[in-house]
């Protein structure tokens, strides 16, 4: 370095043919190398995500209904379903869709040879058992009458023996007859008393046995009668009849001659009015949350109607349960008609001001979970621990960890590998 001229001059750092490096150049070069190394390190360990690949939800505050959701259609409110009470093959279909029927008219006749055979066997068994019981009762009555007659004779003999004993005793006291005759009269009287008591005991035991046997027979006959009556009713139910007068609103497509119907199969639905209800199918796993009286909303393509649950079918079909909702509002009345497809939300829990956001299967919960929250400029997602509360398939309550206005990622973040910070590519 030369300071004599008043300015600083740098001497060559390295003198080689064709190369002259100076300190500023070297420092600049080292700085660039350091920046590149840091950038390379970040690129090698950091995680990036395309914003277009993510699903997010904004945290909001306000009232919230947790709901069970389902789909179905509108139907007359007094729609009556006719189901087969017992299994059988369709022997005859008596009606068609849209046909007017009167109460008691046959709709479908089923054939069930096994049930008919069971009825015949029960009728034979019942008649045979009645005959056996009647014969047994006749024998008991005959024996009872015989014992009673024997008892009457024994009592008469006892009375004569007693009179003879008293008379002989008086004669013996007067020495008209010997004391030996008096003793013989007493012996005959004692024998008559024993005979009477024996027959009386036999009669008592016989009557007890008769009463016990009659009770057992009555119970057996009653049980047979119950089975017989039940089977007769099942046979009568092989003819499915209209429980009301009305129109055949719906007829199952499976009702063809020769088709075997399982018990409880719905074969038709009848209607006698114009008021509409919503018949909605909900997953059987969610049906336990639904109860009669719950409020909800029914949505058609043109209206959102207030509704109330009036029936929950106790039986699941194909993992779904049918729920009936009465419509409380009839907006756009002319556009609402039977058969229209609808979606429904049945509110099983209502909350006031709560923080909530859209739910997702990737969130997990309820309880402690980790989520990624976007920065204000949406360039970075930061991992945060939060606590989730109650939820349905659409919304989840946030107990702590997030604030109103936060935007959380609710799609799959397994590729983030648990990083605390993830770069978001716009």
Write down the pLDDT at residue 274.
66
Write down the pLDDT at residue 12.
44
Final residue of a domain: which of 251, 272, 293?
Answer: 272
Write down the pLDDT at residue 80.
85
Only one residue has tokens 């395309």, namely 50
Whether the CB-CB separation of 343 and 311 falls below 8 Å is answered with: no
Residues 206 and 142 in one domain: yes
112's CB contacts (< 8 A; 6+ apart) are 86, 87, 88, 89, 235, 238
Residues 168 and 231 in one domain: yes
> Which tokens is 198 given?
């024996």
Write down the pLDDT at residue 250.
85
Q: What is the largest CA-CA distance in the chain?
A: 192
Residues 58 and 203 in one domain: no
Segments of the chain with pLDDT less than 50: 1-30, 32-45, 331-332
Residues 99 and 246 in one domain: yes
| Alpha-carbon span 303 to 298, nearest angstrom | 8
Q: Is the dihedral of CA 17, 20, 21, 23 positive or negative?
A: positive
Final residue of a domain: which of 236, 264, 285?
Answer: 236
Residues 139 and 104 in one domain: no
Whether the CB-CB separation of 54 and 371 falls below 8 Å is answered with: no
Per DSSP (E only), the strands in 102-190 are 106-111
Only one residue has tokens 């049906």, namely 287
Write down the pLDDT at residue 333.
59
Nearest one of 140, 78, 148, 65 to 338, comparing CA atoms:
78
Show the domain range for 362: 48-66+351-425
**Phi-psi region at 22: left, alpha or beta (left = phi > 0; alpha = psi -120 to 50):** beta
| Alpha-carbon span 80 to 345, nearest angstrom | 24
Nearest one of 279, 288, 266, 264 to 322, comparing CA atoms:
279
Residues 244 and 232 in one domain: no
Write down the pLDDT at residue 337.
74
Domain with residue 194: its CATH number is 1.10.287
Write down the pLDDT at residue 330.
62
Domain with residue 268: its CATH number is 2.40.50.100
Residues 118 and 203 in one domain: yes
Write down the pLDDT at residue 27.
41
Write down the pLDDT at residue 354.
94
Residues 232 and 245 in one domain: no
Q: With a threshold of 0.85, does the pTM exceed it? A: no
Total domains in the fold of the chain: 3
Write down the pLDDT at residue 174.
84
């Amino acid at each position: 370095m030369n300071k004599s001229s008043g300015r600083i001059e740098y001497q060559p750092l390295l003198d080689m043919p064709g190369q002259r490096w100076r300190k500023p150049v070297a420092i600049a070069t080292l700085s660039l190398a350091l920046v590149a190394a840091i950038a390379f390190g970040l690129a090698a360990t950091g995680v990036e995500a395309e914003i277009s690949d993510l699903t997010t939800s904004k945290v909001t505050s306000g009232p919230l209904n947790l709901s069970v959701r389902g789909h179905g259609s509108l139907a007359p409110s007094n729609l009556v379903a006719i189901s087969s009470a017992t299994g059988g093959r369709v022997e005859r279909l008596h009606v068609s869709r849209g046909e007017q029927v009167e109460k008691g008219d046959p709709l479908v006749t089923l054939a069930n040879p096994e049930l008919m055979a069971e009825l015949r066997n029960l009728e034979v068994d019942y008649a045979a058992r009645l005959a056996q019981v009647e014969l047994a009762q006749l024998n008991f009555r005959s024996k009872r009458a015989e014992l009673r007659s024997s008892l009457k004779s024994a009592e008469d003999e006892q009375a004569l023996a007693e009179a003879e004993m008293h008379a002989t005793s008086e004669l013996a006291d007067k020495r008209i007859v010997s004391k030996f005759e008096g003793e013989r009269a007493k012996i005959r009287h004692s024998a008559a008393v024993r005979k009477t008591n024996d027959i009386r005991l036999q009669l008592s035991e016989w009557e007890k046995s008769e009463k016990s046997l009659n009770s057992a027979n009555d119970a057996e006959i009653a049980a047979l009668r119950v089975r017989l009556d039940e089977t007769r009713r099942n046979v009568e139910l092989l003819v499915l009849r209209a429980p009301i007068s009305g129109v055949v609103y719906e007829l199952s497509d499976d009702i063809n001659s020769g088709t075997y119907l399982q018990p409880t199969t719905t074969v038709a639905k009848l209607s006698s009015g114009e008021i509409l209800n919503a018949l909605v199918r909900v997953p059987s796993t969610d049906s336990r949350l639904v109860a009669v009286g719950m409020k909800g909303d029914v949505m058609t393509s043109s209206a959102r109607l207030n509704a109330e649950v009036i029936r929950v079918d106790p039986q699941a079909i194909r993992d779904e349960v049918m729920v009936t909702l009465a419509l409380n509002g009839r907006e756009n009345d002319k556009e609402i008609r039977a058969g229209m497809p609808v979606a429904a939300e049945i509110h099983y829990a209502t909350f006031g001001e709560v923080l909530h956001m859209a739910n997702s299967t990737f969130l997990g919960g309820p309880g402690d979970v980790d989520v990624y929250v976007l920065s204000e400029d949406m360039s970075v997602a930061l991992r945060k621990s939060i606590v989730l509360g109650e939820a349905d398939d659409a919304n989840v309550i946030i107990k702590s960890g997030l604030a109103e206005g936060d935007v959380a990622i609710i799609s799959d973040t397994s590729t983030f590998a648990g990083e605390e910070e993830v770069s978001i590519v716009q």
